[in-house]
Structure 1
């Protein structure tokens, strides 16, 4: 299963780290939500909101249900290869990184939806 962690722009900006595979969307392959949360924390995501903006909310939210996983890497239930988003916040950088169980990290640029 694949679990999508969508980054909130807490404090008015997004964290990006190509080496660690962190962008607006971080998708983690895991057996269940608990394993996905564990792996996400090892990547560099955090779920305690420490240092995040009080008015904007926490940057990252943990997965609470294994039912939230998808069979293929997806953003908003659309496969990353064809997913579209209204806003592209990461410029020319990948919008999403998929972290596979075998250790591969693959970046994806998502298409922009027409307004």
Structure 2
């Protein structure tokens, strides 16, 4: 299953690290929510909010035990290949990275949606 971690722009900006596969959206393949959280932390995501903006909230939120994930890499239940965003916060950088269980990392540029 695939679990979507979407980044809150805590403090007015997003973290980006192409080498580690971190962008506005990070999708992790895992057997369950607990494993997805574990793998996400190994990538560099964190769930304690340390250093995040107090008024904007935590940058990352962990998956809950009841989260079942998606059968394909998805963002808000839309497959990443067809998912879109209203604002291209990441500029020319990939908007999403998919981390497969076998260690592969795939970068994705999402389509710009119009209002």
- Could you say which TM-score interval applies, normalised by the shorter chain? over 0.9
Query: Any stretches of 5+ residues in structure 1 without a counterpart?
Result: none
- Cα displacement (A) at 1:67: 3.2
Query: Structure 2-normalised TM-score?
Result: 0.97
Q: Post-superposition, which runs of at least 4 consecutive aligned residues in structure 1 deviate over 6 A?
A: none
Query: 2:58 maps to what in 1?
Result: 58
Query: Any stretches of 5+ residues in structure 2 without a counterpart?
Result: none
Query: Structure 1-normalised TM-score?
Result: 0.97
- Cα displacement (A) at 1:108: 0.2
Query: 2:48 maps to what in 1?
Result: 48
Alignment check: 8 A CA contact 2:8 2:60 kept? yes
CA RMSD of aligned residues (A): 0.8
Number of aligned residue pairs: give it: 115
1:98–1:66 distance in 2 versus 1, CA, 3 Å: farther
Cα deviation digits, residues 16-67 of structure 1 (max 9, x gap): 0000000000000000000000000000000000000000000000000353
